[in-house]
Structure 1
Amino acid sequence: MNDSDSTPRIGQIVLINKGRDAGQFAIIINAADEKFVLIADGDRRKFDRPKKKNIQHLTLYDYVSSEVRDSLTEAGRVTNGKLRWALTNFVEEILDVVEKGDGFDGERRCN
């Protein structure tokens, strides 16, 4: 991620590009500092044991799960089920766009 104008946001969907989980989607649940975020997917990476990830190793999508964001801001936590639900909805939305031929080619990504 080289764009200075695209900063990670709580509840934002990311694609992991480097490491053991490369190719999988996750959600940003906290910002550790300016270079690192904490991500979880509710399945392999639970909310209670998030992965600290360098933002340069992630593709940030221009999609924020309002349910996850609201839960984190109101209660300070989110259920693993809600994380899984938000990721499933995001993936289904992308697949629907691709199948309909609306031209989703990753241009909604921030970087």
Structure 2
Amino acid sequence: MMEMLNPPHIGQIVWVNRGRDSGKYAVIIGVVDQRYVWIADGDKRKFDQPKKKNILHLELLPLTSPEVADSIRETGRVTNGKLRFALNKYVEPADEALEKGE
């Protein structure tokens, strides 16, 4: 069994590279086990309808949203607005830099 160096954690930003949502960013809102996580983006994929994803189909980014992690830790849930805010805060600057480079 492959040992995970950085196990996925709640609030972590991921890039989906397989499936219907491929090419999109999302936030981990729950960890099922070593292999599966629940993701949502607050837009197409709401908190109440998260997607269960195999972590092999995700690229775990070295970014964590403390707002999302704290909210889930304290209340057990997070607003869709907060998920969108987290993704815009961390992902938009990176995307804009890529677009300007083209």
Q: State TM-score, norm by structure 1.
A: 0.82
The aligned counterpart of 2:68 is: 68
Tell me how far apart the structure 2 counterparts of residues 100 and 70 of structure 1 sit (CA, whole Å): 33
Matched, 1:82 2:82: yes
Question: Which amino acid counterpart does residue 23 of structure 1 have in structure 2?
Answer: G
Distance 1:57 1:78 in 2: 23
Within-5 A mapping of 1:1-111: 4-95=4-95
TM-score (norm 2): 0.89
Deviations 1:65-108 (A, max 9, x none): 0000000000110000000010011112324665899xxxxxxx
Alpha-carbon displacement from aligned partner over 1:6-51 (angstroms, at most 9, x marks no partner): 2101000000000011000000000011110000000111001100
Whole-Å Cα distance in 1 between the matches of residues 3 and 100 of structure 2?
A: 30
Q: CA RMSD in A?
A: 1.9
Aligned residues between the structures? 100
Relative to structure 1, the CA distance from residue 100 to residue 58 in structure 2 (aligned partners, 3 Å threshold; closer, same or farther) is: same
Runs of 4+ in 1 over 3 A off after TM superposition: 95-101
* Structure 1: tracts of 5 or more residues without a match: 102-111
* 1:104 equivalent in structure 2: none
Identity of aligned residues (%): 56
**Structure 2, unaligned stretches of length 5 or more?**
none
Hey, what's the Cα distance between the residues in 2 that align with 1:6 and 1:96?
A: 27
